[in-house]
Amino acid sequence: MSARTAIALGCSAGGLAALQRLLPALDHRLSVPIVLCCHTGSADVSLLVELLARVSSLPVVEAAERAPADPGVIHVAPSGYHLLVEPNAHFSLSVDARVTYARPSIDVLFETAADAWQDGLVAVLMTGANSDGAHGLKAVRQAGGYAIVQDPDSAESDVMPRAGLEIAGADARLPLDQIAQRLNELCIP
């Protein structure tokens, strides 16, 4: 199988700690766009971007409306807006109603990323205390994408990965420490 072309990550409660372990293990040669939706509850996502940039060998930026999803860059959904991937792999934002109490919503990101990248997409659903992302993960699999769910037993909060497994299933159920390696394998030809 040819290498996958994009990565979408979703996490909620416990997400910052999980990302601080995951991101350093991503290969600096990864040259696919990486898009992240992490519920922070904060009005300003810049702190999260800063914290993640410190531990990541890949650049971390706030996803800019209308900008292309650049390869080798980690794009973080802004606070208060849904982040969508348009069919031309550029970003758009919306202030539509919250989905499963969340805006940005992982479901919205995953569903639109699945439309944009089809079977090129790898989606990762990690720790979280709600069910956001589960339906999005299902859309990813239906489009031929590859779904990784963090092993609920290794998650700080297991509700989100369990919901993902129940509603969408997964191509891989991995403990946190093995997720980055799988992403490297899938996306580096």
Partner 1 sequence: MDVEDIEIELFIRAMQRRHGYDFNDYAPASLKRRVQQLVRTHDAGTISELNRRLLHEDGFVTRVIEGLSVPVSEMFRDPPVFRTLRDKVLPVLASYPEINIWQAGCAHGQEVYSLAILLEEAGLYDRARIYATDFNDAALHVAAEGIYATRDARDWSRNYIEGGGQKSFSDYYSARYDFIKLDQRLRRNVTFFNHNLVTDDVFCEAHLILCRNVLIYFNNTLQDHTLALFRKSLVRGGFLCLGTRENIDFSPAAASFADIDAGLRIYQASATNPRPLTR
Active-site residues, by number, are: 12, 39, 132
Distance CA 159, CA 121 (A): 23
Amino acid of residue 52:
L
> In Å, how far are 35, 105, 112 from 101, measured between CA atoms?
20, 8, 18
- Using rule CB under 8 A, residue 115 touches partner 1: yes
Contact in structure between 87 and 111 (CB atoms under 8 Å): no
Tell me, by CB under 8 A, how many residues bind partner 1: 22
- Using rule CB under 8 A, residue 97 touches partner 1: yes
Instruction: Report the site for partner 1 in 168-187 (rule: CB under 8 A).
Output: none
**C-beta of 86: minimal distance to partner 1 in Å?**
5
- Using rule CB under 8 A, residue 84 touches partner 1: yes
Q: What is the 3-state secondary structure (H, E, C) of 57-118?
A: CCCEEECCCCCECCCCCEEECCCCCEEEECCCCEEEEECCCCECCECCCHHHHHHHHHHHHH
Interacting residue with partner 1 among 111, 151, 156, 158 (CB under 8 A): 111
Interacting residue with partner 1 among 1, 2, 87, 189 (CB under 8 A): 87
| x/- map, 29-68, partner 1, by CB under 8 A | -----------------------------------xxxx-
Task: Select the span of 5-13, 86-94, 160-168, 177-185 touching partner 1 (CB under 8 A).
Answer: 86-94
Whole-angstrom Cα Rg for the chain: 14
Interacting residue with partner 1 among 15, 74, 75, 81 (CB under 8 A): 81
Tokens of 158: 């297991």
Q: State the DSSP H helix or E strand holding residue 26, giving kind and residue range, or none if neither.
A: none
Give the residues lining the site for partner 1 (CB under 8 A).
64-67, 78, 81-82, 84-87, 92-97, 108, 111-112, 115-116
